Amino acid sequence: MTATRLEGTKLAQEILAELRGELAALAARGVRPGLGALLVGDDAASAVYVRSKTRRCEELGLHHETRRLAASATTEEVLAAVEDLNRRPEIHGILVQLPLPAQVDAQRVLDAVRPEKDVDGFHPVNVGRLLQKRARFVPCTPAGVMQLLARSGVELSGRRAVVLGRSDIVGKPMALLLMHADATVTVCHSRTRDLAAVTREADVLVAAIGRPGMVRAEHVKPGAVVVDVGINRVSDPELARELLPPERLSEFEKRGYALVGDVHAPQVAAVASALTPVPGGVGPLTIAMLMANTVQAAADAS
């Protein structure tokens, strides 16, 4: 058995195409959604993510701004930048790119974003609404995973789902969304005993642990659907040869690194019924859901 690839790129384009109708309706009322991104420091991966998001804004015709602060910025300086975006009526959604430098109090910064502009869904008000199954904005990566499963015809009601990882950004909201879809959900983490025995119970396994190639064949129930949320930069040639298919090794040799997921794709593809690739799986859907949340924020504000 070779797992079906659950490609996110095509599905993301479907979502963006659907948004164009909403954007046309808003434009007829004189409303142009705006996204303000806040980038602190010079983290290369963060800069790439922000550029990808702003490119999607340009494709859709959204107003977008990126505010850059030095890596030495204080919490108060970052809070001041957030408050400026909060006050601006042309900015409907605010994206604070994580991670923030160590000296910045990330929780204070995320709490400072107005809930109605919190298109990442990290403000306590929006977290509470998600918990109560009346969400305004759902965190973009878990929302993208749910779109992927729904649009790929994966049944969740009554199924066993396991989420590997318990972060506020992915793991916890992912578990809530799966629960809301009537799956029976288990959350695993670094203290879970006999991890493989737990993950092998999953009909749907979502890996968001941040460790390259950690999920192997022994972790997966035959026929399970496996969603790989991880994005890890690998520069070790031995690990790259283990995790990458032959057609991607030339990419590694050219660049000196490659992006891989939390799933050992060559092993798991032989066991699972379906598997998301990295890159090209969940990532494009994350950005599509950010665009959807920004459009929703503009519609709500108008």
Answer yes or no: 296 catalytic: no
pLDDT under 70: residue ranges of the chain: 1
The answer to whether the CB of 71 falls within 8 A of the CB of 41 is yes
Q: What's the pLDDT score for residue 50?
A: 85
Domain boundaries along the sequence of the chain: 32-117, 140-283
Catalytic residue among 117, 118, 120, 221: 120
Can you say whether residue 62 is alpha, beta or left, with left for phi > 0 and alpha for psi between -120 and 50 degrees? beta
Q: What's the pLDDT score for residue 45?
A: 75
Answer yes or no: 97 catalytic: yes
The answer to whether the CB of 279 falls within 8 A of the CB of 231 is yes
Domains 32-117 and 140-283 share a fold: yes
Q: Under CATH, which number does the domain 32-117 receive?
A: 3.40.50.10860
Cα 63 from Cα 297, distance rounded (Å): 13
- Domain 140-283 in CATH 3.90.420.10: no
Strands (E), the chain: 4-5, 34-40, 63-69, 93-96, 160-164, 184-188, 204-207, 225-228, 232-234, 258-260, 274-275
Cα 152 from Cα 143, distance rounded (Å): 14
What single-letter DSSP state applies at residue 115? G
Q: What's the pLDDT score for residue 4?
A: 97
Q: What's the pLDDT score for residue 1?
A: 64
The amino acid sitting at 210 is G
Catalytic residue among 53, 117, 172, 221: 53
Which two tokens mark 233?
């930069």
Cα 218 from Cα 211, distance rounded (Å): 16
Q: What's the pLDDT score for residue 232?
A: 92
Answer yes or no: 262 catalytic: no
